[in-house]
Amino acid sequence: MAHIAESHANHPGPRLYITIALILGALTGIEVAAFFLEMSSWIVVWILLLLSLAKFLMVVFFFMHLRMDDNRFALLFFAPMIVMVSIAVALLALFQNITR
């Protein structure tokens, strides 16, 4: 019991969770607004990707508490992520090249 209380002592409180959720909602709104803006395609694509990344990291670090958790958990989660993103980029490069 004492161990559990100690392990959760560094979790953020409801106020921070609500602030994070409001930021996530606002970022989603900006994403949708950027989608409908008539801007250079590459700028919009980069804005959308960066906003998605920001939302992703906020949920992982604050809602999933990875910021306060053991680094080994971060390794378990981010190692496959790096592998997967590398594979996706490589596949995209290869297949787009072949089909051209």
Partner 1 sequence: MWAFLGSDVLFFGTLIATHLVYRGQSVSGPTENILDIPITSISTFVLLMSSLAMVLALSGLQRGKMGEARFWLAATALLGSVFIGFQMYEFAEFANEGLTPRTNLFGSTFLIMTGFHGTHVAIGILWLWSLFFATFNGKIHQGNSLEVEIAGLYWHFVDIVWIVIFGVVYLVGAYGAEEHVEEAGHAAAAIFGIG
Footprint on this chain of partner 1 (rule: CB under 8 A): 1, 4, 8, 11, 13-14, 17-18, 20-21, 24-25, 28, 31-32, 34-35, 41-42, 44-45, 48-49, 51-52, 55-56, 59-60, 63-65, 73, 76-77, 79-81, 83-85, 87-97, 99-100
DSSP state of 100: -
Burial class (CB in 10 A: 0-12, 13-18, 19+), 60: middle
Q: How far is the CB of 73 from partner 1 (least distance, A)?
A: 4
Non-local (6+) Cβ contacts of 61 within 8 A are: 67
Q: How far is the CB of 93 from partner 1 (least distance, A)?
A: 4
Q: How far is the CB of 94 from partner 1 (least distance, A)?
A: 7
**From the CB of residue 99, how many other CB atoms can be counted at a distance below 10 Å?**
6
Query: How far apart (Å, rounded) are the C-alpha atoms in residues 71 and 73?
Result: 5
Q: How far is the CB of 83 from partner 1 (least distance, A)?
A: 7
